[in-house]
Structure 1
Amino acid sequence: MKVFERILSVDKLFDVVFRLEQKYGKQSCFQHMAVLEGICIKTKKSEDLLWILESMEDLLIRGESNNKCFSSRTLKGGRTGGGTRGLLDEFLAKKSIFEYVLEESQKWGLKPAHANGIKKVMISHSEVRKRFEDGADLTWLGQLTEAERLIINMLKNVVFRSGHDSQLRNTLKGSTLPADILCHDPFKTMMETIHEEIEKVKAAEEKEANEDESDEDSSAQKNVIVHDLLPRMSLELDHEDEKAQQLMAFAKQAEEIVDQFVKLVVEQDSVQAMGQIMENCVSLTGAKRAIFVYDSKVAGEATAQCHIRRPQFRREHFQKICSSFVRGRGGPQPREGDLVIFFDGGRQLAPMVLSACVKITNAEDHGQHWEKKQRQEMIIHYCEQSIRARRCLVRGLIPTHEGIHIVTSGPVLVQDIPRKIFSGMSLSTAIGPVKILPFDEEQGFWLISKEEKDKIYGPAGRVLSGGALPDGPDRPDLGEDRIPVNYHVMPQAVFAELLHSFQASVMVNGTEIDGKGAEAAILAKKSYIGVTFTEYHAQQLRKLLVRFVWEQFKDQSSPLYNVEVQTLLKALGGNPNASTPLPLGSSGGSGNTVQPSASGRGKGGRGKGKGGGKAGSKAGGKAGGKAAGGKAAGKSKSKKRAAGEDDGSDGSKKQKTSEESSKKEEIMNKLKKLTQGGLIQDDDDDDDMADEAEE
């Protein structure tokens, strides 16, 4: 009767039992009535019973447990003699931790709207699976503060996953109260980190309120959407080494960071299809301020001499991407504070840009200009030396400036703050000097093969041009089958400056090409949407960004630096940042061979006659010269010996080494006689000896 009254008579509880019975049949854990009876005895509250049943269902669906794991004994636990608690205690402890963390965070200063948003989205295991499954849109997570992301990460790992179950079981031996559980590591460290981040958010909000009380509109923060930071770990991990598994977890984390902040969408043919994609980008619809970037230099590639020629401006292409951005913001025109930033490539395109900024609707106002449309012109100044280094000049003057057109629906609202990278303030109409990247992969330039480039651009990315110039320079030779993805890309610093100076919550790049804007957004922890030419382009770009994040884990100057990754890499294969060691026998370390002084000021004999002083001077000087030459020769010989070993020429190497050693010993003996204080009566003999030593 208890089972019927407390479980089977309640619709929500019955549905869970029925789903598992229907899915597993006779293999279901609920085939044994003792299991349901044990659950009923543990608690009478329907919400607790629902949490227990959904926890069991979640473990089965995710493949972390099977039906045999849920026996009456494992659920109740072996409490006699200080044994571990059962799964029922573990499930209920997770529920209490979930409620306690949200309650305690609000006491520290987390906004109730944020806490309620987290609780609403993570109200059940089924809701978590539905919203946080693999392949879900993760970019809206970038709209949250760092404190919110930390809370989500903790709840995901501790409550809705099994990553910390072993520590939780050990802690439950002493107490089941959440306050006591969270006083032990690793939970204590997590809570302290959350507390620190909440304090930072409070301090920043107080400072902003003091500067401008009119900006206290918190309505944009009420629509809080949360997401799982870490996708499900692969269950088919073959590595037995614990350190290798930890390193693989960090590699997975690099992918997750990219998915948190970056969403790559493929360009569509129609405005309608493109607009629907933007409407589904939650990070765009919920952002407080958004900026749309369109770089006409990389909006495709010219079909002829693309290394010196920029693609022709396509008004319809700009209008399609810009209109989809506006539609994603929820209206026929941009919201107040939104910016459309257009790079003209040094061409007079302002009239065409303004004519494309019109309403795209199904109503009578279709095609009409944005209300209160304004344009503000800026310039970007490039470093002349970096342009010369590319050696793609044709003739005439060096173009070091480019126009930036900012189009808004209303006045341009910019906060007066210092620039992040370049000199000056954010209200300045000039940015620079900007150093463009050389065509070098080691410095972050994306080089690919011609086949890959054709797949990246596709037919839509090729812009017809009027033919090749008669006296145009050749393309730079960058190696066999290596060409830039685009010759006119902007460096990461420009995108980082735009995000900072305009205080944007999300950046939409309508001409995504090499991921530099996405890199800047990841480092700034801002949301980013990039429009790619093809699906292949999006796939390759995501791989590139994951590698970028992984390198940031190893860079001590990066905000993403992770000392645990460095420690694991050293333990599994040496220091990744160490330079290539010198080959054995080369100069660079302390060897057993004593090298003569290389100063050219050798000690001559102390003879009283003229010949002694002269001979000493010559011998010492030539000995010094020999020493200096010997060092250089030592390096060269070491390289040759290393090459000889690779080729397998052991016999010739030994013979050559023996001859060199005997000759060197003979010369050193002669030099000793010259420098041991004896009188040298014949200067010519001294010269002959020294000349022989030089040879």
Structure 2
Amino acid sequence: MVKNVSSWRLNKAELAEVAARVEKGEDQAVVKREIQTLKAQANEDRKKAANAVAEKCKRQAVAAKALAKCKAATARAKAGGAQPESGSAPSEADLNDATNKAYYCQVQEDCEVILQEFGGEAFRQELPLPISTGNGPSGVQEPFDRVKALQALQAHSCYRSSVSVWWLNAMNSPTPGVPMSRRRVEDLMQFCYGLGQPRFHSDRMIEVAVTSSELDCEIPSNLQVISPEEVLHATLAGCALAVKLKDTLPDAEWQERKAKWKAVLLSVPVTFSEIPVQDVWKAAFNRRQAVLQEHESLSRTAMQAAMEVAHFKTLVEAQNPSAGKLSAQALSAEFVRLGLSQVTGGTKQDEEEADGGSLAPTFISHALNVHKTVMSQPRCVELLMDLECKFGTRSCFHKMSKLCVLANKPTSAASRIWVLESLHDLLCWADLKPSEVTRNTMTGDRSHCGLVALFECKQRVLDYIHSDLLPKAGVLDSDRRLLKEASADHSAHSGDGDITWQARLQKSGILCFELIQDLVFDKKFDHGVRQAARSGGAPEQVWEQDPVKEAWEKVKVELAKEAEERKACSMQADDEEIVEEEDALTVVRKAPTSFALHSPGYWNAIGNQAVRTYVSLVPEPKTMQGVESAVAQSSLKDIFGSQGVSSVLLWLDLDSVGESQGPGQQPLLRKKYTMDTNTLKLVQGALMGRGSQKRGQAGAEEATRVVDGDVVMIHNGFSHPGGQREAKSVFRLSTAKKEAEVDSELREVLVIFEDESIRNRKQRVRGSYNSSTCVTVATSTIFTQCLPEKAYEHHPGHCFSNVLCNVKALRATEAWHLSRKEKEEVLGKDRAVTITEDAAAKKAESGGSEGLESVFSAAALPVPFYQDLIRGHAAKAVLDLAAGAGNFAKAALLERVPYYAFTLTECHSKRLEVVLTQFLVDEMRKEGSTHFRPEAVQDQERQEADSAQVPKKRTKGSKKDEGSEVVPKKKAKAKAKTKKDDDGEEKNEEQGAEEEEAGGSPLPW
């Protein structure tokens, strides 16, 4: 099962393929998912092959040591290589199969495509085509004849005829265990057959190794091919491609091409050579040498050559045990004596390279060294395979001389992996060209630092930063832990595109990460690092470079500021409240087994588990790119709506993006948080994260088109009346004219509140007031085609209507209340609003302690409203861009749909999680709820009965009625007196108290 499919990014060629297929009518999400799945599967196949190659290298090394000690080990090597000491270890055949399993699966797939088109098993049983003089199908050579074959083999050890392609064994290799490359087969197929044009093997016959007994039959089968495997596999791939492209051709043209392909497959010119079984590997090697210069896709890469030479060495030493372990010089001479051919290159360098066709002692020595040091490390093999996949024959490590530098120059195995990962990253991100990686640039000289020395110095610098520099500088333990995880190696640094973890870093931590990135993983400070590497490579020398000093000084300044802030906070904070707040979140996150069965802690833990199952709360990223990455890696990344069936809701309530005016607001507040363009980054960033096409110039991309299956809703709210214009601008490019049409289908839904619920939110009703808000809805196409029509459950009407009425606005007492200090921690400095100096002075004159304030004062939408949004729009999941007080999260919990939301701060996430946990525990005790648990009700009744038996001393401020709601207590007054309110009207304090008791809001607004 392939994991993390959606984390794979598409390159330019793949994005172009997606765009081309979308233009033809295919679904963009489906096409993208298909390509990502193929990339993920290829990565898994490379890892399996790399592990098999590394295991085989280690086993051959063990066999070589045993060969030098005793003849018994030689006998085992001759029988098929060193046997595993443990019965559970994989056999040699298993390792060979694992090495090329994915490769031969693709060959098998080509065969199945051909057979399905040409008649299945009946086509497999057809005889070779003879040369016909009529108008019927004809071959290009006389077909196989048993009598003539036996006579020719007896006289000349060779026989030529045409055979059916199905007589050949395409699934077997004369040199098993050597990793094959599908990319090279596709290159040869493209060269020979183009887009499926049939072509006979007139220029190159396929050679088969046989014995006389194998041909003493009318229909030979499973013939061992000793020609390069890519020749036969390219033919099968070309025919399979033609079948796949048949729909692009007129029927008559395809029938003509199909008949030609049938003749090609049933008239394959073959040379039968009588070769002993023990010499098949030599014959196969010589055939590859013969075609080496015809097409470079047939040549061995340095990695393949290293495996091949080591395999041949094992075979030669097994055939001549008395010679013992052969040196490179002796092995070269033995290869020549056995008849292995080598290509004469035009330069001296050809004698050292894998693609030069050389069997010189230097080349053999390099190959064996690479086999021993590089090929025995799975990570190295995986990276080399990935480079070959990305660059083909342009890969810099196709040359044995460069791979030998990688084997010899690094100081340790871990350092070798680090160096190769560094080169891999720079090459993949185009910071380094393959042509710039040469033997000289890797090794360096007296006046220039080589790439290997540079990367090893960077590795030491990274260790020095984590082990010495950051702890001494006073970086927080939590930040150091995150930084170490994110920069442990190149894989951790590249990650899967999820950068939401950076939101947990202090500003100094972010500066540290940027410094590590520039210094170790990028090229910004390479000049200074090269100088330090030439002087010995001590990490302290790097810190003596002026550019690095300046960057580190910025970190130290920020660390000093944070230390002062923590000191000031510790002096002002109430230690007991801090402990209680931390304990509240820690306790509910414990496992239920940590508490006694059915205890209050047990039910809180059960509720928190359910909350974290459905709800994901993440602090809002600071940039649009951060929003895009967070959404793309969220828990909703694999959830998509179906056109006309279901949807994924993207919701933004502008009443929840910052501090606002409303019931329970900050006293004397005369302004609100003003929405700016950064707020709207949430919508476009979310659209990009959901897969919307980016438009605009590089660095200033925008996404204005809603993805199929998604429904975007922006609620203007009471705090932003008339915000429809800003909401519509989200779906139009910023560079477009104002009169230009938007890029998505828009509609407006009027939300009408019950009059009494609006009046109850006001302490006194003076003049006119607003009882409606507007929701801007955006879809990819006409709304009625996106979803089925459904009736609302808690409100009259249907989802196709542009009015949603009789909504009961939240009462003042139902809002989320916190102290002013806690409210600022939840909102953050950027989203909180301070009162004017005059208002602050007036507030100070009034004296007294501060009461509770509503956190999101203008928010008025209740939980049933959100439940109707989910049900009415057949929502499979909800992406809330401003979690607010959590009412949408509560609705998602009740409807049991996945919910992913952005919060304003980390404190907001933690407090909201506790609130949702308590909400779910209450739902467990509410009969009729989707989370109802009868045992939870019984436990609550038992606890209440136990508490009733213990008389409690009545304290000041305790409630008179058990069922009364908890409301913020107003400051006591010595006597009733009149004073002017904020609008200049006089009001009696006792009169206000009477209004409170009459059912009005207890909060001053």
TM-score range, shorter chain: 0.3 to 0.5
Q: Considering Cα pairs closer than 8 Å and 6+ residues apart, tell me whether 1 or 2 has the greater RCO.
A: 1
TM-score by length of 1: 0.44
Of structures 1 and 2, the larger Rg is shown by 2
